[in-house]
Amino acid sequence: MCTKDRLRCLIPAVGKLLDHCLIRSLIESGVAREIVLRLIRSTLEKLRSLSDDELEKLDLSLDHLAQQVVAQIEERSLQRVINGTGIILHTGLGRAPLSDSAIQKVEELSGYCSLEIDRQSGKRGSRDLHIAELLVALTGAEAGLVVNNNAAALLLILSTFAQDREVIVSRGQLVEIGGSFRLPDVMRAGGANLIEVGTTNRTYCSDYEQAITEETSILLKVHTSNFKLIGFVAAVPLVELVNLAAVHDLLVVDDIGSGALFDLTKYDLGSEPTAQASIAAGADLVTFSADKLVGGPQGGIIVGKGALIAKLKQNPLTRALRIDKLRLAALQATLHSYLSGKLTELPIWKMALRQLSEIKRDAEALAAALEIPLKREAKVEVQDGVSQLGGGSLPGEEIPTALVTIEFFHSDVEKVAAQLRMGDPAIFTRISSGKLLIDLRTIRTADHGVIVERFRNLSNQRSSVIS
Ligand SMILES: *Cc1c(COP(=O)(O)O)cnc(C)c1O
């Protein structure tokens, strides 16, 4: 029976693989047997669908297959990451790390908490009353509301005020942000008709004015976030849109994206629109993310006119887009850090404002520690480099930093970077001109030991392969 599909017969049975010591210890470590079993089945099914010619090229040993299954399980689970990329708000790595006080608040409120109850009367209350008060105090707006993320904030506004009506946007602001967020798509989902005006590089107030019809409901301004128009460009200042909207009885909505809550130029970090400036300029509603420059948990913040926020709350979508108590807890603590003037309690600002001399000291220390396990296989140096704020904020704005650079004599740098990403905790680095770069701005000093240990293990693995 094994003559025709000679190699297919060598594919092990499910039970054999399930009994392998690697798989057994995987299950003992807490991974559900059912999940492992499904993965084993699908792995073996895939192999059985291959021809002998294809199977010939593969390693069908139990050890190898077990390793594959373990690697796949590890790949799928959410894992802690040491961020050596120097990108402070890295969307792929979960954007803003939470502050200690936010984490403490989450812990405190993770049991029962007064989420939606009025403590005085014991009757049902509002879940975001306190957050709204903090937002009002911070931004100078009349009212505030928090939803799932900034995309949801925009969707809610469009669905409430622009369903089957027209929304005017400059062609220079029809942005795509990180793959799945494209402004024209959100418009469609919100039931609004998008009216594009101006050209890619220049839009004037008269362009908006000429496009206004009976059907118009909103003049929408969108922060271009992740790209920069330079050269022969013109955009309409928010104040002019506000004046135009007043004449025609329209709403001005300003999506400022990253949502800075203070003037970044004060710290030499370039210029980003602030929520306060938008409110002061007279925008009716301002939306931004809670996990970009605010430095909190995922969320979409809307601030603006009280009557409009009240209307948003009546939209049934608000219920579908609301956030849970844990994120509210984290956001409350995050906003408190601003109100108490303790900016560097927030990890993103602590990292962004770190002194270069301090980062250099860290880089020297890490490089010296890495020299020991790597001395025969790589050249380890400290170099100047640049970090980025990320999260679509300040494109082109670069913050000076110090890097540890590792140039391997024999190993493939891409392979080493992949091995670092696959471990626990995962370590993310950059690669440039064939060197592995570790940016110390985004790494806690307390994590140096783990990094050195991982390089030592990788180095041991390599030397045992060679011998
Ligand atoms: C990031 C961004 C969004 C999307 O925000 P999420 O909170 O990720 O949904 C929308 N608009 C602008 C201008 C942005 O920069």
At 52, the pLDDT band (50, 70, 90 cuts) reads confident
Burial 244-281 (b: 16+ CB within 10 A, else e): bbeeeebbbbbbbbbbbbbebeeeebeebbbbbbbbeb
Asked if 375 and 321 sit in the same domain, the reply is no
For the chain, give the percent of residues with pLDDT over 70. 97
Number of domains observed in the structure of the chain: 3
* Contacts for 100 with CB less than 8 Å, ≥ 6 apart: 345
Contact 170, 141 (CB under 8 A): no
Q: Evaluate whether residue 1 is within a structural domain.
A: no
Cβ burial, residue 38 (10 Å; 0-12/13-18/19+): exposed
Asked if 116 and 40 sit in the same domain, the reply is no
Asked if 127 and 267 sit in the same domain, the reply is yes
Asked if 297 and 358 sit in the same domain, the reply is no
pLDDT digit string (tens) for 162-211? Answer: 999 999 999 999 887 766 778 888 889 999 999 999 998 899 999 999 99
**Rounded mean pLDDT of the chain?**
92
User: Ligand 1: which of 154, 181, 186, 226 to mutate, judged by most atoms within 8 Å of the beta carbon?
Assistant: 181
Output the pLDDT for position 404. 98
Output the pLDDT for position 261. 96
Separation of CA 196 from chain center: 29
Asked if 392 and 306 sit in the same domain, the reply is no
Output the pLDDT for position 394. 66
Considering just the CA atoms, what is the radius of gyration of the chain in Å? 27
Query: In angstroms, rounded to a whole number, what is the distance separating the alpha carbons of residues 40 and 63?
Result: 13
Average pLDDT over residues 352-365: 97
CA nearest ligand 1 atom 13, residue: 257
Q: Which of the residue ranges 2-11, 58-67, 128-137, 362-371 has the most confident prediction, judged by mean pLDDT?
A: 362-371
Output the pLDDT for position 395. 66
Output the pLDDT for position 463. 72
Kindly state if the Cβ of 257 falls inside 6 Å of ligand 1: yes
Output the pLDDT for position 437. 98
Pair of tokens at residue 72: 């796949």
Output the pLDDT for position 467. 43
Phi and psi angles of residue 82, each rounded to the nearest 5 degrees, phi first: -95, 120
Q: Which of 303, 385, 354 is nearest to 138 (CA)?
A: 303
Q: Evaluate whether residue 36 is within a structural domain.
A: yes
pTM to 2 decimal places: 0.91
Q: Which residues pair with 196 in a beta bridge?
A: 169
- The CATH number given to whatever domain includes residue 374 is 3.90.1150.180
CA nearest ligand 1 atom 11, residue: 257
pLDDT digit string (tens) for 233-257? Answer: 888 999 999 999 999 999 999 999 9
Q: 62: domain range?
A: 6-75
Contact 426, 77 (CB under 8 A): no
Asked if 256 and 330 sit in the same domain, the reply is yes
Asked if 325 and 215 sit in the same domain, the reply is yes
CA of 41 to the centre of ligand 1 (A): 40
Kindly state if the Cβ of 225 falls inside 6 Å of ligand 1: yes
Kindly state if the Cβ of 393 falls inside 6 Å of ligand 1: no
Asked if 359 and 262 sit in the same domain, the reply is no
Kindly state if the Cβ of 377 falls inside 6 Å of ligand 1: no
At 229, the pLDDT band (50, 70, 90 cuts) reads confident
Output the pLDDT for position 458. 87
Average pLDDT over residues 405-410: 96
Cβ burial, residue 153 (10 Å; 0-12/13-18/19+): buried
- The CATH number given to whatever domain includes residue 257 is 3.40.640.10
Output the pLDDT for position 205. 94
Q: Which of 332, 196, 187 is nearest to 255 (CA)?
A: 187
Better-scored residue on pLDDT, 281 or 127 = 281
Contact 339, 134 (CB under 8 A): yes
Phi and psi angles of residue 300, each rounded to the nearest 5 degrees, phi first: -120, 120
CA nearest ligand 1 atom 14, residue: 257
CA of 223 to the centre of ligand 1 (A): 9
Point out the domain boundary residue: 308, 329, 345.
Answer: 345
Asked if 259 and 193 sit in the same domain, the reply is yes
At 383, the pLDDT band (50, 70, 90 cuts) reads very high
Kindly state if the Cβ of 392 falls inside 6 Å of ligand 1: yes
